[in-house]
Structures are given as C-alpha cells and as structure tokens.
Amino acid sequence: MSQQRITVIKGDGIGPDIVDAALQILDKVGCNFEYDFADAGLMALENHGELLPQETLDLIAKNKVTLKGPLTTPVGEGFTSINVSLRKRFELYANLRPVLSFKGTKARYEDIDIITVRENTQGMYSGLGQVVSDDGSEAEAMSKITRDGAEAIVTFAYELARREGRKKVTAVHKANILKSTSGLFLKVAREIGEKYPDIESTEMIVDNTCMQLVMNPHQFDVIVTTNLFGDILSDLCAGLVGGLGMAPGANIGKDCAIFEAVHGSAPDIAGKNLANPTSVILASVQMLEYLDMSDKADNIRQALKEVIESGDRTTRDLGGEHGTTDFTQAVLDRL
Ligand SMILES: NC(=O)c1ccc[n+]([C@@H]2O[C@H](COP(=O)([O-])OP(=O)(O)OC[C@H]3O[C@@H](n4cnc5c(N)ncnc54)[C@H](O)[C@@H]3O)[C@@H](O)[C@H]2O)c1
C-alpha cells in the first residue's frame, strides 16, 4: 500500500510549535505518513505575496487530507478569511467539532462528550447578497439553505452517530421565526431522522439550546445545525470543557478534508513555548479516525487524557507550569 501523504500547513504565531508537537505524536504511534509542507496566512503573504498561494491549494487538492495550524488573517480591507475561502473552494460542507471534558481542567462539568455537526458553506455565512446602501443607513445579506445541503449535513450527522455508537441526534433550528430557511432545514432533519430508527431524534430551538447546554449539557450527544448557529453553539460547547484550547475541528467535503485547531494564532504567546498543543493533537486524532486508523487515534486520546488528568507537565492554561515541549514529551512518554 502506498504511503498516505498529508499536506501540513504549520500556520502563524503558535502554529509551528503546536503542529510540530502533533507531528511528533503521529510519528511516535507509527503512522508512517509522508508530509508535504505548505504556506498559508501571514507566512505565505511574506514569502509569496499572497495569503493562499496556488501551490498550497494544489497540495490540498492533491493529497486530499490536510492538517492545519491557526492562520493570521491581516486586519484591513481586501483580506477575506482564509478559512472561509478554503471551506468554499473545497466544498467542505461539514464542520465537525467534538468536545470532551478532562478531569482536573477548567471544564464546567465532568463527562461531557458532545459533537456539533455544523453546516459549513450555506446559511448566513454564504456571503450572498451583502449590500450596504450608499448612505450607510441600511445593510442586508442573504441566507440560503438548499434541500441538498440540508440533506447532506443531516445525513452526515446520523451516519456519524451510527458509526460511533452514539444514541441521539438533536436538530437545532429557529423554524418558529426563520420559517423559510430554518423551516426547510427542520423539515429535512425530520425526514432524515425517520430513516434512522435506531437513533433517538430530537429537535430544539436555538435559544433554548444555549440555555440547556449551560444548565444540563449531558442531555446532548450529537447536535446538527446550520452554519451560524453551529458556529456559536460549538464555541459554547468548547467553553463547557475549558475553552478553545481543548477544541479541535474537522472540515469535511466529499473528497477532501482539513483538520485544524479551532483557536487562533495567539500572537501574545507566540515563540514563548507556552502554547497548549491539545486542540491540534485532537485534530490529528480526528484525522486518524477519518483515515480509518482508529486504534492509533484511541492511543493518542488516552495518552493525552492521562497527561491532562494527572497534571504531569501541563501548560499554564491547564493550571500547570510547563511549556509546549514538556507537555508534548509527557504525551510521547506515555505512547
Ligand atoms: N482557525 C484559525 O486559523 C483562526 C481562528 C481564530 C482566529 N484566528 C486568527 O488568530 C489571530 C489571533 O486571534 P485572537 O487573539 O482573537 O484569538 P486566539 O485564539 O489566537 O487567542 C485568544 C486567547 O487564547 C489564548 N490561546 C489560544 N490558543 C492557545 C493555546 N493553544 N494555548 C494557550 N493559550 C491559547 C491566546 O494566548 C489568547 O490569550 C487573528 O489574526 C485571527 O484572525 C485564526
């Protein structure tokens, strides 16, 4: 069998440190990947004069699997978000954001294990119909949901639930007010849910979902929802388990996937060996599951859990006194 090639974008700020940590761990468990390194973000702007060079896009398309560190989008007009550009270009329609609580961290609850499956290309973030009147007094934007798009994301959520032995899928919507867009999403969610009698299907209005997540998160298993609601709810879920440093994200399309840390490039701690590499390590765990390498994924997740829960060489955001390299070594020692 030919070796799996992975495109690696180390990213900006703390990106290179935390991605190097993840690569050491992948190598340690014997993944035997070949890596093609590519630039994007600030680094690419400095080296190639553009945020997303064609060479990088070609490598993402060629290898089909990418591990990506956080990217800095320069502030100012003329720079569109690199992440949004990548999702659109490669039709990465599913954004998968799992959260898992570890004992001994700032997690608000124990035993949280929730996956948000967010539609990644439509709804309020499609960028359609953005108009501001000449005098600046009115602004409008279009939200568009298609039946195909809703079917794809809801089916993705149920298939994931079945594959992972999960029990329940909750469709989150605002169909009582947004009758056309959220209404279509809910209609499709109900139809698809009927095809999966082995999985409990529930539905919840988005504002109530926010309150329920804070007060009684254990009722949730898989959440499936539209783009804007998924963006907000998945950050809320990350807050339940100690913040964005603990949250990975997978962007999955029909034949291409990008796995990433959810947080940004943290310029305030860049180059200081202070960053917690957990989210990008968990993103590489998601990548292994996508590649049907679940044994190796489980090994890494278990080692990470032992390090975080024992407090052995943890980083400052986790209450420890160590840096990225010590934390990584603690995980490597357990593998
Ligand atoms: N996925 C991405 O590529 C992505 C996501 C969000 C922001 N960004 C970019 O990142 C830059 C900085 O954004 P920001 O400051 O708003 O958010 P940020 O997530 O980079 O940082 C917010 C706070 O969290 C801390 N933090 C983040 N990750 C950490 C880690 N792994 N370990 C320890 N502490 C960590 C930072 O030190 C900072 O105090 C911006 O240019 C933004 O555009 C990129």
Reply yes or no on whether 231 is catalytic: yes
CATH topology for 1-93+247-335? Isopropylmalate Dehydrogenase (3.40.718)
Question: 72 CB under 6 A from ligand 1?
Answer: yes
Provide the residue type at 182 as one letter.
S
Residue-wise pLDDT tens digits, 82-102: 888 899 899 999 999 999 998
Active site residue 174: yes
The dihedral region occupied by 225, where left means phi > 0, alpha psi between -120 and 50, and beta the remainder, is beta
Distances from the Cα of 293 to the Cαs of 68, 90, 282, 300, in angstroms? 19, 23, 14, 11
Beta-bridge partner residues of 223: 116, 170
The structure's pTM equals 0.93
Which tens digit of pLDDT belongs to each residue from 248-287? Answer: 999 999 999 999 998 999 999 999 999 999 999 999 999 9
User: What is the topology classification, in CATH, of domain 113-240?
Assistant: Isopropylmalate Dehydrogenase (3.40.718)
Please give the distance, rounded to the nearest whole angstrom, from the Cα atom of residue 198 to the centre of ligand 1: 40
Centre of ligand 1 from the C-alpha of residue 268, in Å: 9
Tell which one of 18, 52, 80, 265 to mutate to probe ligand 1, the residue whose CB is within 8 A of the most ligand atoms. Answer: 265
Nearest ligand 1 atom to the CA of 12 is: 10
Report the largest interatomic distance among the alpha carbons of the chain, rounded to a whole angstrom.
Answer: 62
DSSP assignment of 116-159: EEEE-SSBTTS-TT-EE-TTSS-EE---B--HHHHHHHHHHHHH
CA–centroid distance, residue 87 to ligand 1 (Å): 19
Domain borders along the chain are: 1-93+247-335, 113-240
Same fold, 1-93+247-335 and 113-240: yes
Measured distance CA(288)–CA(105) in Å, rounded: 25
- Catalytic, out of 125, 221, 296, 317: 125
Q: Write the CB contacts of 235 (distance below 8 Å, at least 6 apart in sequence).
A: 244
Looking at residue 56, what is its pLDDT? 96
User: pLDDT tens digits for 172-193?
Assistant: 999 999 999 999 999 999 999 9
pLDDT of residue 125: 83
Instruction: Based on the residue annotation, tell me whether 207 is a catalytic residue of this protein.
Output: yes
* Secondary structure letter of residue 33 according to DSSP: -
Centre of ligand 1 to C-alpha 11, Å, is 12
